[in-house]
Every structure is written in C-alpha cells, then in structure tokens.
C-alpha cells in the first residue's frame, strides 16, 4: 500500500480584485495537491516570491498596480528562479498574447474560464507547457481570415478560386474574359496580399485562413 502524499504544487496568484483572489485561493486550497498564496499587486507578488518562492507557477493580473502593461511579467519571470510565470486576464489582445509568449511567459489564464479547467491549466504550465486558451487561438484565426479576406477584391477572390482548381492563367483568362497579362497581374496582387511566394502557396494560405 502506497501512503506517500501527492506532490504539492505551490502557486502564487496576484490580482487587485479581492473577490477573484479569494475565489481562486479557496478553490485551489481545497485540493490536496495545491498550495495557493495570493498578492494584491505586483510589488507584493515580487516580495512573496523573494520570501517564499520560487513558486511552481506564478499568475499575475495584467491590469493590476505595478504591472505597467506586459512589462511586469518580465519582472516576475526574473524573480521566480526560472520557474513559470503566466498572465491572468479577461480579454487579452493578440499583441498581449504574442508578447507574453515571446517574453517567455507560461501562457494566459482567462478569468472568464470555468474553475474546473484551472487545475489542468496550472499543472500544464507548471510542467513547462505554454498554455493559450483555444478560444483565443480561434478568435485570432477568425480575425486573420476576416482581415485577409477583406483585403482581396471581388475579382481577386474569383481568380483565387480558379487558382484553387489548378487552372493556368490562360484558362482563367478565357473563363473570365480577361487577357492573360491581366490575370498575371491579379495573381501577383493575390500573392502579395496573402504573403505568398507563388500561386500554390497563395491557395494554401487562403485555405488555412478559411478564405474559401
């Protein structure tokens, strides 16, 4: 019979909303393998890390005092002894998500998510994973699709659809009543707008972004 106790994950959560701190702390502290400490701002969080850390995971609220936007994340990362630090927020912009990851952050935890997902997210990040909620990824894909699709003219969309069918420029020109040189011009414009090097890549980019 194995009577060994489960390994305890020590988590520090910093947020300037007392109700959110209490909710997270009560939820995590009720679990046998979590120990949760809290801080009301970045300075208090850094002091906690210095005195009781490093923690297996630190989550810092994006908008609390002392954060100075995403800059506070870097301070917490530097102080947590090489262990992961992530952002806690409600509705991050794509820039915040990309900056968090590029700065070495462990990921993003949404305050709006169900608490039942929180333990898996914390375990994943504490183990070295980088977590971004699926809804943020999907939201960015939709935005990319809308922005990219809107940048193509109606004629370019038509040409793109025929490119996807594998038709050469001459045949596309015949189908649309255009000179081959005009089709080449449209293809060049499509590639430029989609950031593609050639017609095949343009089709792949368009499909990946759900343009057609």
Best CATH choice for the domain 9-132 from the list 3.10.290.10, 3.40.50.2300, 3.40.640.10, 1.10.3720.10? 3.40.50.2300
Nearest alpha-carbon partner for 71 in 103, 108, 44: 103
Topology of domain 147-208 in CATH is: Arc Repressor Mutant, subunit A (1.10.10)
Q: What is the pLDDT of residues 133-155, one digit of tens each?
A: 876 665 555 555 555 555 788 89
3-class DSSP state of 187: helix
Using DSSP's 3-state secondary structure scheme, residue 196 falls into coil
Fold agreement (9-132, 147-208)? no
Burial degree of 123 (CB within 10 A; 0-12, 13-18, 19+): middle
**Strand ranges inside 111-158, DSSP E:** none
What does the chain come to in residues? 212
Which among 145, 175, 153, 148 is positioned nearest to 163, based on CA atoms?
A: 175
Give me the residue spans of the domains in the chain. 9-132, 147-208
Query: Among residues 74, 76, 68, 70, which one has the least CA distance to residue 44?
Result: 76
Q: What is the pLDDT of residues 56-74, one digit of tens each?
A: 999 999 999 999 988 999 9
pLDDT average per 10 residues of sequence, the chain (212 residues): 69 94 91 93 96 95 91 95 94 83 90 85 92 70 54 87 91 91 93 84 78 68
CB 57 within 8 A of CB 126: yes
């Amino acid at each position: 019979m194995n009577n060994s106790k489960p390994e305890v994950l020590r988590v520090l959560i910093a947020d300037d909303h007392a109700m959110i701190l209490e909710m997270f702390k009560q939820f995590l502290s009720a679990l046998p393998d979590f120990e949760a400490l809290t801080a009301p701002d970045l300075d208090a969080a850094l002091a906690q890390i210095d005195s009781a850390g490093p923690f297996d995971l630190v989550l810092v609220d994006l908008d609390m005092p002392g954060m100075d936007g995403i800059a506070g994340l870097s301070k917490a990362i530097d102080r947590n002894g090489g262990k992961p630090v992530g952002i806690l927020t409600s509705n991050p912009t794509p820039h915040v998500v990309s900056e968090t990851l590029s700065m070495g952050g462990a990921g993003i935890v949404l305050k709006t998510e169900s608490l039942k997902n929180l333990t898996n997210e914390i375990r994943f990040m504490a183990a070295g994973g980088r977590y971004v909620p699926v809804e943020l990824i999907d939201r960015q894909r939709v935005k990319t699709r809308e922005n990219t699709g809107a940048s193509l003219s109606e004629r370019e969309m038509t040409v793109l659809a025929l490119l996807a069918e594998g038709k050469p420029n001459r045949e596309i020109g015949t189908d649309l009543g255009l000179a081959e040189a005009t089709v080449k011009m449209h293809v060049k414009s499509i590639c430029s707008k989609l950031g593609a090097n050639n017609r095949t890549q343009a089709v792949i980019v368009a499909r990946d972004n759900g343009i057609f």
